[in-house]
Structure 1
């Protein structure tokens, strides 16, 4: 997906915006035509869920004022006023109902319902490597385009497949996909660390998916229970190659850390010899 600048003109091309009321003072959005996007079972917690703003109900000047509100917040607080922008011809109530329906998911680990944060750009940016095309069709349904911020005023978008039948099905995640969603906070933290350590690393879907696989391996194969230990495991793989963990000194450290004897970070810090990349890794 190619990034583009959010300008007055590109902003005017959208019918709805989604914002997170937890991140914004009520005075910044309560004057706007808004609808809560909340699954039925969570109606009593409506204040915790995103709001759909009907941009089409605002005149041009009001929309320009709203865009300036977005710019001001981004400049002053380094925070995006809008989480998502949507292009859709349906009434706002229908759009909110569709989105809320897609958010509700089943957590097989806890054996109870949970919420997929589809309004969170930090989640949405990873769905391309988690979801199938059919699942994406379910997410979008009647929505023609969904856009979200990547960095600063850089945005990306995904369009509904114009040749596909508009799906009215609810998104259902497989167990392994829900596990990937649960790891996304760690994936995002790893990506920040890697971008500091490896400035030339271009973060694409394949990189994020590799980070996820390494985190799963650190936890499930090596038994690393501490998040910081798992992040170091990923960092080493990116710096020195996946085979670095086959070196005897690291195999021993992983075994000891996985057994609860000590932290993996602490054991690696005690190593006398610096790690080296093997030829071909």
Structure 2
């Protein structure tokens, strides 16, 4: 297996000291979007993994600990030529929308890729990874996660309308998870799914911005059904008169505890 590295140069410089340099395979520029040259990630090959991989992991961990955006996005294992992997990953940067048109898909960003494992079906994830046999990234908790590729890959990647909505909300999911981590909330494997579900529900209520993020935080910390509680419903029906966060900012922990307890009857 050959080791490759996806680097996001817009987030910083790849710096390795006291190890052989990785060599550049090329930018991930989609054929249909040549104007993206200079604004896309770059694929590198690590020919000396025994020396280079520990250094790459160390730099990624340091940036994560400092709260900086990732430069080293993923370490891939692949038995195919680098240019074949480059072409595949480049084409995946353009995601067909379920209705019409396309969108730029930042799937390579570990803050995005982590959620694609529960958003996409196994065959879709295989179509995304293509010839990559293993995909390793640093997750939000600072742990290295390795995902195995599919034995057979679909030629194209198509997502449903629901999946596309989930993908567009990933950035908001990450914002909510960051808030929960700062508040020492114990995150579970299914927490991102619950966060996304509350975001989708909040959007249905017409919430946006900080109101939407706050609504999702409250939902995860109280009850999946907290929005059906009469006090919360009263706030949601006031939309246009006052913001959600302004309406609930003075509710204390005892009030939220009562809402969490009483919400069970609104399942």
TM-score bracket for this pair, using the shorter chain length? 0.7 to 0.9
Match of 2:146 in 1: 157
Per-residue deviation, residues 90-115 of structure 1 (Å, max 9, x unmatched): 11110011112222112357x43212
Would you say the 8 A contact 1:14–1:85 is kept in 2?
no
Over aligned residue pairs, what C-alpha RMSD do you find? 2.8
Q: TM-score, normalised by structure 2?
A: 0.83
Give the unaligned 5+ runs of structure 1: 1-12
Query: Would you say how many aligned residue pairs link Structure 1 and Structure 2?
Result: 254
Cα 1:104–1:72 shift into 2, 3 Å: closer
Match of 1:189 in 2: 175
Q: TM-score, normalised by structure 1?
A: 0.80
Give the unaligned 5+ runs of structure 2: none
Name the SS for the 2:128 alignment partner: helix
Would you say the 8 A contact 1:186–1:227 is kept in 2?
no
Would you say the 8 A contact 2:194–2:220 is kept in 1?
no
Would you say the 8 A contact 1:104–1:113 is kept in 2?
yes
* Residue correspondence of structure 1 range 200-219 to structure 2 within 5 A: 200-204=185-189, 206-219=190-203
Would you say the 8 A contact 2:124–2:157 is kept in 1?
yes
Q: Runs ≥4 in structure 1, deviation > 6 angstroms? A: none
Cα 1:74–1:167 shift into 2, 3 Å: closer
Match of 1:114 in 2: 103
**Alpha-carbon distance in structure 2 between the residues aligned to 1:138 and 1:72:** 29
Of 209, 217, 223 in structure 1, the residue corresponding to residue 206 of structure 2 is 223
Would you say the 8 A contact 1:20–1:83 is kept in 2?
yes
Match of 1:269 in 2: 249
- 1:203 deviates by 3.4
- 1:153 deviates by 6.0
**Alpha-carbon distance in structure 2 between the residues aligned to 1:200 and 1:113:** 36
